[in-house]
C-alpha cells in the first residue's frame, strides 16, 4: 500500500527536493503540494528539472486541515513560523515531518532568542521528536511528529556525536562550517544572488546562528556534553553543499585510524554515513543523502571533516529517511541517490 503524502510549501528548494525524491519513492503517492503564489501552475513549470515526470499542480493550502484524515503523512517545507499554526490542526492519525525550525527547540525562551518570535504551540512541540536519524532512530520510528534538523546542525552533529557518546572530548570545540547559496532559499536577496555570491566568501551570524541551540540540545541527549562550542558559519560560492571542519581536543591520544574505528562502531548500522580517507569533498555528496566524514589527528588534537548536501541529507533526504522509519520501511527506500562525477 502506498503512503498518501501532502506537502505544504513545494515551491522552494526544500520542496523541490522533496518532490524529486518522493516522485520516485516506491511506497509514496503525493496527494497534493501547496504553493499559494503558484496555485494552479504545473509543478514542472516551476521546477523544470521535473518536466515530463509529473502532472501535479500546485494548490492553495486547505482551509480546514482537520479534514485531511485520509493522508498518512504531511511534510511542512515552509518558512519559519508557519507550521506553528498548522501542525496542531492536523488529525491525530496523520504523521508530520517539519523541515523548518519551528519545533526543534524544547525551550521557548531559546526559540524567542534565536528565531525572533514567540513560540505559540509549545504543547504540540512537546510531542515532537528531533529527527537526526542516526542518533535518534528508535524514537523516530515510534513518533507521530518529527522535527527535521537544520542543515548545519546535521553536518555538525554527525561529526561530533560519536565523540560525545564516547566521552572523548576535553575543552573547547570549534566548528568552522561553510554552505552553498541554496541554503539561503529560492528567492534572491542582496547578498545571495549570483553576481554577489559567485566570487565572494564571508562569515555570517557569528555566535548567533539559530542552529547552535539545537546542536547543543541534541549533544546533551547523546552524552555528557559540557564543552564550550564556538560555531562559525561562512558563505561558499557554490550552489549546494555544507563542509564543516570540527576542531576538538580528545581525552586520549587518537590516530586518524583510531578515530575512524570509533566512528565506524558508532555508525555501524548507518548506511548513509561514509567514512573516507583524508578530507571529504562536497562534490562527492551533492544530490545524495550521504554524509562523508574524514579525520586528521595529531596527539590529542583531532579534526573531523563532515560534508553533506544541504538540501538532501541536510533537509529533504533526511526527512524522507525519517518518514521511512516512521512507517516501518527500510530507511534507504527511495534514497539510493547516486552523485555524479564530475
Concerning whether 151 is annotated as a catalytic residue, the answer is yes
What residues are paired with 232 via a beta bridge?
Answer: 176
If you write DSSP's letter for every residue of 97-159 in order, what string do you get? Answer: EE-SSTTT-S-HHHHHHHHSS--S-HHHHTTEEE--TTTSHHHHHH-SEEEPPPHHHHHHHHH
Measure the CA angle with vertex 316, ends 229 and 180; round to 5°. Answer: 55
Options 94, 151, 169, 312, the catalytic residue: 151
CB atoms within 10 A of CB 88: 15
Residues with Cβ within 8 Å of residue 224, at least 6 apart in sequence: 164, 167
Measured distance CA(201)–CA(136) in Å, rounded? 34
Buried b (16+ CB within 10 A) or exposed e, 255-265: ebeebbebbee
What residues are paired with 306 via a beta bridge?
Answer: 244, 293
Residue (of 266, 294, 153) closest to 213 by Cα position = 153
Asked whether 18 and 7 are in contact (CB, 8 A), the reply is yes
Q: Would you say the C-alpha torsion 311, 317, 322, 327 has a positive or negative sign?
A: positive
Chain centroid to CA 340: 21
Q: What DSSP designation does 57 have? A: B
Strand 242-249, strand 58-59: pairing: unpaired
Report, as residue numbers or ranges, the catalytic residues. Answer: 151
Amino acid at each position: 500500500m502506498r503512503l498518501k503524502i501532502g506537502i505544504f510549501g513545494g515551491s522552494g528548494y526544500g520542496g523541490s527536493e522533496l518532490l524529486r525524491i518522493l516522485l520516485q519513492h516506491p511506497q509514496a503517492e503525493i496527494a497534493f503540494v501547496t504553493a499559494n503564489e503558484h496555485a494552479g501552475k504545473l509543478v514542472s513549470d516551476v521546477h523544470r528539472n521535473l518536466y515530463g515526470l509529473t502532472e501535479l499542480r500546485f494548490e492553495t493550502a486547505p482551509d480546514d486541515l482537520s479534514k485531511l484524515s485520509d493522508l498518512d503523512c504531511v511534510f511542512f517545507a515552509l518558512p519559519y513560523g508557519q507550521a506553528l499554526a498548522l501542525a496542531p490542526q492536523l488529525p491525530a492519525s496523520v504523521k508530520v515531518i517539519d523541515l523548518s525550525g519551528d519545533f526543534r527547540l524544547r525551550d521557548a525562551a531559546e526559540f524567542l532568542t534565536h528565531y525572533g518570535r514567540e513560540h505559540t504551540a509549545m504543547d504540540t512541540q512537546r510531542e515532537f521528536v528531533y529527527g537526526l536519524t542516526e542518533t535518534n532512530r528508535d524514537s523516530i520510528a515510534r513518533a507521530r511528529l518529527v522535527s527535521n534538523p537544520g542543515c548545519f546542525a546535521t553536518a555538525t552533529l554527525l561529526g561530533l556525536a560519536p565523540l560525545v557518546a564516547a566521552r572523548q572530548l576535553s575543552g573547547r570545540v570549534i566548528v568552522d562550517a561553510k554552505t552553498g547559496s541554496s541554503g539561503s532559499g529560492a528567492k534572491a536577496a542582496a547578498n545571495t544572488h549570483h553576481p554577489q555570491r559567485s566570487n565572494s566568501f564571508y562569515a555570517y551570524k557569528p555566535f548567533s546562528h539559530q542552529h547552535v541551540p539545537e546542536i547543543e540540545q541534541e549533544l546533551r541527549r547523546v552524552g555528557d556534553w559540557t564543552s564550550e562550542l564556538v560555531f562559525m558559519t561562512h558563505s561558499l560560492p557554490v550552489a549546494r553543499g555544507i563542509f564543516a571542519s570540527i576542531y576538538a581536543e580528545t581525552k586520549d591520544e587518537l590516530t586518524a585510524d583510531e578515530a575512524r574505528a570509533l566512528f565506524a562502531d558508532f555508525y555501524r548500522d548507518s548506511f548513509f554515513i561514509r567514512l573516507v580517507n583524508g578530507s571529504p569533498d562536497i562534490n562527492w555528496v551533492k544530490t545524495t543523502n550521504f554524509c562523508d566524514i574524514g579525520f586528521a589527528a595529531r596527539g590529542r588534537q583531532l579534526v573531523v571533516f563532515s560534508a553533506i548536501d544541504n538540501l538532501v541529507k541536510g533537509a529533504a533526504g533526511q526527512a524522507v529517511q525519517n518518514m521511512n522509519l516512521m512507517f516501518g520501511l527500510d530507511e534507504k527506500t527511495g534514497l539510493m541517490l547516486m552523485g555524479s562525477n564530475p
